[in-house]
Amino acid sequence: MYIELKNINKTFGDFKASDNVSFGIEKGRLIGLLGPSGSGKTTILRMLAGLEKQDSGDILIDGKNVNDLPPSERGIGFVFQSYALFPFMTVYDNIAYGLKVQKKDKAFIKARVAELLELVGLPDVGKRYPSQLSGGQRQRIALARALAPSPELLLLDEPFAAIDAKVRKELRTWLRETIDKIGITSIFVTHDQDEAIEVADEIVITNKGRVEQVGNPVEIYSEPKTPFVAQFIGQSAMIEDYGRLKGFEQSGEGNTAIIRPEFIEINKFEDGGYHQFESSMEDAVVEDVFFRGSAFEVRADINGISITGRYPLSSPRLKKGDKIKILIKKLYTISGNSTEILVNKALDDSELYYI
């Protein structure tokens, strides 16, 4: 492992911002640190950078314990959420700043700044001031400035949080490509799951100062290990009494489950259509229909259990009060602090026919 955090604890007053945090990062990987506001993401970055000291635990970079190393000697580049640039310096001077601190000569600095402006796709803005750039351009320059001294590790703390949704999407694709080009080990903090899933090789999920799960985006999405992750990722909803649903029997201690829209199939049998699993479907009543561009989102009531699913634009229209049939394909059940996938028995059994 190139970066290792081992049993890191940090309290502010009596508030535990990091609770026994441990994870590692391999060289050249881009890690997404994802969690709700206040879950301790920035605290982790600040400790890694040496801007904050952990109460206990070790931080290793390339096998070397950096606990007592000052920020300037850790070889880390940092991009902050906002106000990252010095407003009274030109773009050129902002990028050159770290190189001047390193006492590089003028010719080197000039060439390096030009190279970085090229890398971030803004070769002509060197003479401008940050106020003369768009938000997205400012963050590109902030990245150039962080990269100027050739750090070994790049930390990005919600770099696009203040930027509007469409530009933000372009920027994250751009960031991924740029980081790939340089091959630098990076940690990207966000509380936007789409951003983390799209950008990161690996995701670390934080909650209340703890690490809930570490895994690649597919694992995090399809095999959540804890109830928190199951609920936090995807468009998840909690339901009670899942044992009442057709094809499911309560397993474990609790009777709470988490369900996502993609786990259910909504059917409207207008003219007596046939469906293989019709007998395993729940009768439901439409409560609400929302148009979501690519599909309808339908909220329906199954005997007191409210469920949301997607419904294709091409299918017969639904409206409030319509009677429908719902096939629930699977659920995540919650038992203590772990989750399990429970597949509808009808689907489970039907697979036997194909073996």
Ligand X SMILES: Nc1ncnc2c1ncn2[C@@H]1O[C@H](COP(=O)(O)OP(=O)(O)OP(=O)(O)O)[C@@H](O)[C@H]1O
Q: Site residues (CB under 6 A) for ligand X?
A: 12, 15, 17, 35, 37-43, 191
Nearer to ligand X, 15 or 108 (CB): 15
Phi and psi, residue 126, nearest 5°: -50, -35
Nearer to Mg ion, 161 or 347 (CB): 161
Angle between the N-to-C axes of helices 106-119 and 135-147, in degrees from 0 to 180, rounded to the nearest 10: 130
Whether residue 10 contacts residue 17, with contact meaning beta carbons closer than 8 Å, is answered with yes
* Interacting partner of 15 out of Mg ion, ligand X, none (Cβ under 5 to 8 A depending on kind): ligand X
* Residue 157 CB, nearest approach to ligand X (Å): 7
* Interacting partner of 74 out of Mg ion, ligand X, none (Cβ under 5 to 8 A depending on kind): none
* Interacting partner of 39 out of Mg ion, ligand X, none (Cβ under 5 to 8 A depending on kind): ligand X
* Residue 10 CB, nearest approach to ligand X (Å): 8
* Residue 12 CB, nearest approach to Mg ion (Å): 13
Among 39, 42, 178, 226, binds Mg ion (CB under 5 A): 42
Nearer to ligand X, 17 or 84 (CB): 17
Return d(Cα 310, Cα 248) in angstroms, integer: 21
* Interacting partner of 88 out of Mg ion, ligand X, none (Cβ under 5 to 8 A depending on kind): none
Nearer to Mg ion, 232 or 311 (CB): 232
* Residue 21 CB, nearest approach to ligand X (Å): 11
* Interacting partner of 108 out of Mg ion, ligand X, none (Cβ under 5 to 8 A depending on kind): none
Nearer to Mg ion, 51 or 119 (CB): 51
Whether residue 9 contacts residue 44, with contact meaning beta carbons closer than 8 Å, is answered with no
Nearer to ligand X, 37 or 314 (CB): 37
Nearer to ligand X, 32 or 35 (CB): 35
* Residue 157 CB, nearest approach to Mg ion (Å): 6
Under rule CB under 5 A, residue 39 binds Mg ion? no
* Residue 46 CB, nearest approach to ligand X (Å): 8
* Interacting partner of 3 out of ligand X, Mg ion, none (Cβ under 5 to 8 A depending on kind): none
Q: Which two tokens stand for residue 105?
A: 């000569």
* Interacting partner of 35 out of ligand X, Mg ion, none (Cβ under 5 to 8 A depending on kind): ligand X
**Where do contacts with Mg ion occur on this chain (CB under 5 A)?**
41-42
